[in-house]
Each structure stands twice: as structure tokens, then as C-alpha cells.
Amino acid sequence: MLFLAFLGFLFSILGLQCLVYTVVGDACVAMDEWVQNPTAHTALDDILPCVDNATAQETLLRTKNVSYQLVNVVNGVINNVVNQNFPPSSAPLYYNQSGPRVPVLCNPFHSDLTDRQCASGEVSLYDSSEVWKNYTCQVSSSGICSKRGRLTPQFYTQMSAAVNVSYGLYRYGPFLVNLQDCTFVRDTFTDISHDYCPGLWRYSQWIYIGLVIVSAAVMLSLIFWVIYARERRHRVYTKRYDARLEGLYKGG
Ligand SMILES: *[C@@H]1O[C@H](CO)[C@@H](O)[C@H](O)[C@H]1NC(C)=O
Ligand SMILES: *[C@@H]1O[C@H](CO)[C@@H](O)[C@H](O)[C@H]1NC(C)=O
Ligand SMILES: *[C@@H]1O[C@H](CO)[C@@H](O)[C@H](O)[C@H]1NC(C)=O
Ligand SMILES: *[C@@H]1O[C@H](CO)[C@@H](O)[C@H](O)[C@H]1NC(C)=O
Ligand SMILES: *[C@@H]1O[C@H](CO)[C@@H](O)[C@H](O)[C@H]1NC(C)=O
């Protein structure tokens, strides 16, 4: 029994050593392999939900296109309705808009979706809401401007909402696409395998020592239990033996 406990202890520390080294080592090797071979099909590709580069680029183009179209729609309204002076007869295009012209949005893309620089007098997606506030007017009960200004609060809200969507796509589209084609994961893994994998190896020693202590403790308690059980059996036996002797004396 004692011998078995000792054997178990030996096997468990050898086994644990293998396990710890294998798990830590495998994770590090797999990350390295995956980071260094962007196109090859490695073990990690089966568990990471990455799309291929072409699909990711397609998504990026679509988000750019939506941004581009939204800005165009808003600018269309500004140029054709808000900044025009209509006679009162041409309602609903006429709502008594007057005063300085509202600046148009800066479209961050050309029609071929390449990056575009803002022209002077254009307002960026980022601060258009702030700038346009200055061009809002007070409305009368009939819904037309009763004071100088070119945007009714309702117009302002709708245009700001459109800009918010467009800005969100413009600002976060590339980031989301990074997630999609796992560029982000790739960067993280590169960092881990450079900065932490060597440390993980060292750290695995500590995990290993901890596990050895645990298994030693288990072995010791097994040994004590065996000793205790033996001792108890011995005592019970002796007691019974004594009792029989006593009976013999009484009977005799
Ligand atoms: C994906 O393709 C684009 C061009 O199509 C290229 O600029 C980019 O570096 C590629 N990214 C990866 C991670 O291969
Ligand atoms: C953008 O989308 C519109 C309609 O969805 C499409 O007609 C146009 O060709 C697209 N532009 C680009 C550059 O893909
Ligand atoms: C809005 O108008 C005020 C006063 O007319 C001016 O001080 C402020 O700079 C303007 N804000 C923007 C964002 O144009
Ligand atoms: C139209 O706006 C002007 C100020 O630009 C104001 O004086 C006038 O009363 C408004 N007209 C109506 C019908 O509200
Ligand atoms: C647009 O987003 C800004 C903050 O990003 C927020 O303060 C504003 O209320 C939003 N406007 C609309 C119309 O959703």
C-alpha cells in the first residue's frame, strides 16, 4: 500500500511536468506559428473565427460606401433645400429659411472610395453637430422658422443622426474590420509570444512546484491513513484478545 502511494506520487509528478510543459509550450508554439504564417492553415485557424483578407476588405469597402452615400444625401439636402431661398408658395421646400448658408459636410471619401481631403468651408463629420447648432432657427406653431436661421430643430436632429451613423462607420469601420480578419488577434498574439511566452515558461516552473506540493500532500495523507488504519485494527484486535483473557479468568 505504501509502495503504491509512492509510485502514484512519482508518476503524478512526472505526468504533471509533461502536462504543464506541453500546455504552455503548445500554446506559445501555436501562437507563433499562426502569427508567422498569415496564409497557411495552422492549428489555430480552426478555432478562430477569422474571415479571409479579401472578405474583410470587401466589408471595409461597404462601410466606406455607406459613409460616402450618407454624407452625399445630407449634402444634397443642404445644397438643394436648406441653402436655397424659396418663395413661400413652394412649401414644403420653403420653411422661411434665411441667413448665412449652412456649411456642407466634408466627405472623407471620393466616389471611388479612396481617401479625400476636406475642401475649405466644409465641416468635418466630427464637429458638424456643434457647428450646425448655430444655424438652427426657432419655429412657429406652423413649423416654419420665425427667426433667422436655416435649420429647423427637426432638420437638425435628423441631419445629426445621419452624421452620427456616418461618423461611426468612418471611425470604427477599420477597427471592426481588423477584428474580422483577426489583425487584432494577430497583434495580440505577437505581443504575447514576444513578451509573455518566455515568462510563461518560467512561470510554469511555479505551477509545477505547486502541483508537486499538492501531490506530496496527498501522498502523505495516504501514508498516514494507512498507518492509522493499521494501528486501529491492531488496537481492536488487542482489545478483543484482552476481553477474551478476562472472560477466561472470570469463568475459571
Ligand atoms: C489585406 O489586403 C490588403 C490589400 O488588398 C493589404 O494591404 C493588407 O496588407 C492585407 N492584410 C493582410 C493581413 O494580409
Ligand atoms: C456603392 O454602393 C452603391 C449602391 O449600393 C453602388 O451603386 C456603388 O457602385 C457602390 N460604389 C462602390 C465604389 O462600390
Ligand atoms: C456659434 O456662434 C457663436 C456666436 O455666434 C460663436 O461664438 C461660436 O464660435 C459658433 N460656434 C461654431 C461651432 O461655429
Ligand atoms: C421669416 O423669418 C424672418 C427672419 O429671417 C422673420 O422676420 C419673419 O417673421 C419670418 N416669417 C414668418 C412667416 O415666420
Ligand atoms: C450624435 O453623437 C453625439 C456623441 O457622439 C451625441 O452627443 C449626439 O446626441 C448624437 N446625435 C444624435 C442626433 O443622435
If you average pLDDT over residues 212-229, what whole number do you get? Answer: 84
Evaluate whether 128 touches 166 at the Cβ level (below 8 Å): no
Task: Give me the pLDDT at residue 251, please.
Answer: 57
CA gap 136, 97 in Å, rounded: 10
Q: Output the ligand 2 site: residues, CB below 6 A.
A: 61, 65, 112-113
Q: What are the residues facing 105 on neighbouring strands?
A: 123
CA–CA dist 98, 104 (Å, integer)? 16
Taking the C-alpha atoms of residue 4 and residue 10, their distance in angstroms, rounded to an integer, is 10
- Ligand 2 atom 2: residue of nearest CA: 65
Backbone angles phi, psi at 109, to 5 degrees: -130, 150
pLDDT for res 40: 65
Would the pTM of this model clear 0.75, i.e. be above it?
A: no
Q: Average pLDDT over the chain, rounded to whole? A: 82
Question: In 37-124, where does DSSP find H-type helix?
Answer: 53-77
Could you tell me the residue ranges of all domains in the chain?
A: 2-48+184-251, 53-181
Q: CA-to-CA distance for 249 and 252, rounded, in angstroms?
A: 5
Residue 195 has pLDDT above 70, yes or no: yes
Average pLDDT of 174-188?
78
pLDDT of residue 2: 64
Give the pLDDT confidence of 96-154 residue by residue, as tens digits. Answer: 899 999 999 999 999 999 999 999 999 999 999 999 999 999 999 888 899 999 999 99
Give me ligand 5 centre to Cα 162, in Å.
10
Supply the residue whose CA is at minimum distance from atom 1 of ligand 5: 164
Q: Verify whether ligand 5 is closer than 6 Å to residue 37 (CB atom).
A: no
Average pLDDT over residues 64-91: 90
C-alpha span between 77 and 155 (Å, rounded): 10
- pLDDT reading at 156 higher than 90: yes
